[in-house]
Amino acid sequence: MMITYEKRHPEIGENVFIAAGVRLIGEVVIGNDSSVFFNSVLRADINSITVGERTNIQDNCTVHVASDQPVLVGNDVTIGHNVVIHACRIGDNVTIGMSSTIMNGAVIGDNSIVAAGSLITRNKVFPDGVLILGNPAKVIRELTGDEIAGNRKMAIKYRGVKNNYLLDAREEAP
Tens-digit pLDDT profile for residues 9-33: 789 999 999 999 999 999 999 999 9
Q: Supply the pTM of this predicted model.
A: 0.93
**Among 151, 168, 130, residue whose Cα is nearest residue 20:** 168
Which one is predicted more confidently, 4 or 41? 41
Look at residue 129 in the predicted model and tell me its pLDDT.
Answer: 98
Contact 123, 132 (CB under 8 A): no
**Among 141, 143, 92, 94, residue whose Cα is nearest residue 114:** 94
The ranges assigned to domains in the chain are 11-172
How far is Cα of residue 132 from the mean position of the Cα atoms in its chain? 16
Contact 164, 105 (CB under 8 A): no
Q: Is the pLDDT of residue 148 over 90?
A: yes
Question: How high does pLDDT run on average in the chain?
Answer: 94
Look at residue 40 in the predicted model and tell me its pLDDT.
Answer: 98
Residue 126, C-beta contacts closer than 8 angstroms, at least 6 positions apart: 106, 107, 108, 109, 112, 120, 132, 139
Contact 47, 25 (CB under 8 A): no
DSSP 59-95: TT-EEE-BTTB-EEE-SS-EE-TT-EEES-EE-SS-E
Let me know how many helices (H) and strands (E) the chain has, helices first: 1, 18
Look at residue 146 in the predicted model and tell me its pLDDT.
Answer: 98
The CATH number of domain 11-172 is 2.160.10.10: yes
Over range 41-59, report the average pLDDT: 97
Tens-digit pLDDT profile for residues 82-141: 999 999 999 999 999 999 999 999 999 999 999 999 999 999 999 999 999 999 999 999
